[in-house]
């Protein structure tokens, strides 16, 4: 299932740019972590014990959603939104940082968002709606011919966990643990399936999450223009003030995967604009998935947190 939601770079290394370790030329970030976060508007949460997980009929077997268990979380702070293109651009301007996708020369783009088909170098087996696109990176989310500068308040994508951590080091923050992430995403609703309750996001007149609507992967309701992430504050926040806690883009966490042989992978949470009940119902607060920390795709970003 993970390849459906966000394919990994590893199996496609034959398509990567020639050379040694793609991180070899990444710049060292400095100065040392400041005492106070550079990110404004972090939400203070008191923490405490909450019922983490899910074991109902929507659970994905073998992914560690259950059993439901009491988990304690210390007081912490978390961003109301995922990091935007504008915020990431400020970081890059001040540090000269080069992301892993830029170093590799390509990243994965959903097929309806590819601006230049001639830039496609291949597609993963079993998930051909993903395209490995030369020149796709955070600056060019759809590959050549697209410009993140025109999407300033959209979530930054095509960032690896390593890239997210470099940003955090510069900004004086960190990635949330998945326990913190789930606590915050629940918005104070004990045992709820979604950040707003148990009502499916496609039910009712109010749009609650940016997920796939229509027949996946070729016929979205509203046409191709309806595909892709929304601005980070496009939809109403949950009870704690978090926007797009599920849907829109996947979010990296600081936690490592603890199921099966993928212990080096990093947990990601929240689902994305591509989630659909026909193959991926991970736009739930307890749903989890994982990617290698060097992976990057057009539906994977991050939200920051900090200690209190």
Note down the domain range covering 194.
41-97+152-307
Please report the DSSP string for 176-243 in residue order.
PPHHHHHHHHHTT-TT-SBTTBSS-TTSSSS-------EETTTEETT-GGG-SPPPTTSS---TTS-S
pTM over 0.85: yes
Q: Do the domain assignments include residue 102? A: no
DSSP 294: T
Q: Residue 3 has what pLDDT? A: 55
CB atoms within 10 A of CB 105: 18
Q: Residue 74 has what pLDDT? A: 98
Q: Do the domain assignments include residue 291? A: yes
- Look up residue 68 and give its two tokens: 């439901």
Q: Do the domain assignments include residue 85? A: yes
State how far Cα 122 lies from the chain centre. Answer: 23
Q: Do the domain assignments include residue 9? A: no
Q: Do the domain assignments include residue 67? A: yes
Which residue in 78, 76, 131 sits closest to 251, CA to CA?
78
Q: Report the C-alpha gap between 193 and 214 in whole angstroms.
A: 22
Place of tokens 């989310």: 141
Q: Residue 262 has what pLDDT? A: 83
Total of domains in the chain:
1
Q: Residue 304 has what pLDDT? A: 98
Q: Residue 77 has what pLDDT? A: 98
Q: Do the domain assignments include residue 46? A: yes
Q: Report the C-alpha gap between 23 and 25 in whole angstroms.
A: 6
pLDDT along the chain (308 residues), means of 10: 66 36 37 59 96 96 95 98 98 98 98 98 95 98 98 98 98 98 97 96 88 93 92 98 98 95 93 92 97 97 97
Identify the CATH number of the domain in which residue 62 sits.
3.90.1580.10
Q: Residue 30 has what pLDDT? A: 40
Q: Residue 98 has what pLDDT? A: 98
Burial degree of 100 (CB within 10 A; 0-12, 13-18, 19+) = buried
Tally the C-alpha atoms within 13 A of residue 6's C-alpha that lie toward its C-beta.
33
Cβ partners under 8 Å of residue 207, min gap 6: 201, 235
Q: Residue 288 has what pLDDT? A: 97
Q: Do the domain assignments include residue 127? A: no
Which residue in 96, 93, 136, 121 sits closest to 299, CA to CA?
136
């Amino acid at each position: 299932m993970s390849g459906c939601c966000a394919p990994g770079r590893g199996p496609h290394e034959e398509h990567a740019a020639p050379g040694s370790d793609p991180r070899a030329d990444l710049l060292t970030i400095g100065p040392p972590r400041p005492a106070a976060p550079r990110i404004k508007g972090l939400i203070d949460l008191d923490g405490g014990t909450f019922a983490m997980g899910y074991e109902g009929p929507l659970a994905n077997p073998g992914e560690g959603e259950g059993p439901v268990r009491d988990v304690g979380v210390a007081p912490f702070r978390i961003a109301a939104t995922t990091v935007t293109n504008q915020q990431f651009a400020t970081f890059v301007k001040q540090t000269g940082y080069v992301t892993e996708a830029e170093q590799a020369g390509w990243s994965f783009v959903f097929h309806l968002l590819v601006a230049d088909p001639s830039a496609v170098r291949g597609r993963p087996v079993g998930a051909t709606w993903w395209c490995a696109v030369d020149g796709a990176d955070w600056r060019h989310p759809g590959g050549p011919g697209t410009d993140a500068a025109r999407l300033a308040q959209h979530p930054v994508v095509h960032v690896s966990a390593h890239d997210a951590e470099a940003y955090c080091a510069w900004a004086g923050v960190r990635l949330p643990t998945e326990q913190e992430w789930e606590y915050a995403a629940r918005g104070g609703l004990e045992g709820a399936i979604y950040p707003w309750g148990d009502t499916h996001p496609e039910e009712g007149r109010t749009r609650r999450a940016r997920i796939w609507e229509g027949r996946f992967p070729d016929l979205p309701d509203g046409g191709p223009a309806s595909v892709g992430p929304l601005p980070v504050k496009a939809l109403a926040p949950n009870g704690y003030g978090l926007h797009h806690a599920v849907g829109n883009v996947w979010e990296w966490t600081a936690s490592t995967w603890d199921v099966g042989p993928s212990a080096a992978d990093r947990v990601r949470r929240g689902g994305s604009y591509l989630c659909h009940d026909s193959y991926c119902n991970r736009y739930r607060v307890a749903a989890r998935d994982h990617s290698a920390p060097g992976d990057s795709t057009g539906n994977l970003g991050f939200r920051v947190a900090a200690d209190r």
